[in-house]
Amino acid sequence: MEIDTPSAPMAEQDARAWMKALKDYTKPSLPRSLFELGLTATLFIACWVLMWLSLGVSYWLCLLLTLPAGGLLVRLFLIQHDCGHGSFFHKKSVNDLVGRILGVVTLTPYELWRHKHALHHAGSGNLESRGIGDIETLTVREYQGKSFMGRLRYWLYRHPVVLFGIGPAYIFLVQHRLPISIMRRGWKPWISAMTTNVVIALIVTAMMWLVGVSSFLLVQLPVTLLAATAGVWLFYVQHQFEDTHWAEGKDWNRHEAALHGSSHYELPAVLRWFTANIGIHHIHHLNARIPFYRLGRVLRDHPELAGQSRLTIRESLRCVPLALWCEDEQKLVSFAEARRRRPNRATA
């Protein structure tokens, strides 16, 4: 495929030009989309049944099967994610239908999530557009300007136990059931959430009747919690790395934020499959209409993009302490680093 692409060093390249260069990758393939959806759904159902059958053998075996089942649930969520961007099928009606069905399985109301995620894409990296569809991030000055209780609340929110343990369970089991945070945006988010809740309740009731209450919970809860934690972790490392990009006002540019504020989370092949290439997140933010199964091809055709904001698994673990945006150094820093800057506080 011959495409005119920028040739300047990555730090100087026009991100808008890259966005235009990637348009040829945005056409979904109906056979490929149906295959990916059918394969993932079939494997997920098979894993769930095997987990249920293994309860009569050993619960440790059941928990072991949670790993592929949870990974497949993440993959189903990411197919729903592509439907929300209108990138999985040509027709919006088909994307919406599949997205709504998957939203029941992933415990994520489709229209509600799509709206919040669109706001995330529209304002990613913009300090003036924080708060919806992203992980709360304060600047060093904002954090240091808060009261003791304000700093404690934010510290607790960013603690790994909360962020990757309690938080994911709360989001998928509680927050998605009641969209209170965006209640001022009208009745549509409530219709989406309540309709999804009703269908979930009917399916859960039927499954409990078929396999028993305890058996259903012993299988489904570990799968849901693992998938929720993995999903939050992926979302975290896609934007919360040291050299990410934040700006405000006239200094913010959507295309620059997409290229420099989203990571390329380089995962082993098996994890790339389970996570539907979402680790190639900088490309996804440059053009969200690219189906997940074409993101790898983008890197093969344009290897110069592979090194942009690249994170390995080991490097991603060092992102966990990063919690505050340092305006002076233009990077994310830890609470410990912020404390060392306390003598310079102007708002304390």
pLDDT above 50: residue 218: yes
pLDDT digits (tens, 9 = 90+) for 272-286: 999 999 999 999 998
Going by pLDDT thresholds of 50, 70 and 90, the confidence category of residue 346 is very low
Going by pLDDT thresholds of 50, 70 and 90, the confidence category of residue 251 is confident
What b/e readout covers 64-83, taking b as 16+ CB neighbours within 10 angstroms?
Answer: ebbebbbbbbbbbbbbbbbb
Mean pLDDT value across the chain = 89
What is the mean predicted confidence (pLDDT) over 289-309? 92
What is the mean predicted confidence (pLDDT) over 68-92? 97
| Contact between 224 and 73 (Cβ < 8 Å) | yes
Bridge-based pairing state of the strands 322-326 and 331-334: antiparallel
Question: So where are the chain's domains?
Answer: 10-344
% of the chain surpassing 70 pLDDT: 91
Going by pLDDT thresholds of 50, 70 and 90, the confidence category of residue 128 is confident
pLDDT digits (tens, 9 = 90+) for 27-58: 999 999 999 999 999 999 999 999 999 999 99
Output the pTM of the full model.
0.90
Cα–Cα distance for residue pair 348/345, rounded to 1 Å: 6
Give the model's pLDDT for residue 343: 52
Name the strand (E) or helix (H) holding 198: helix 188-211
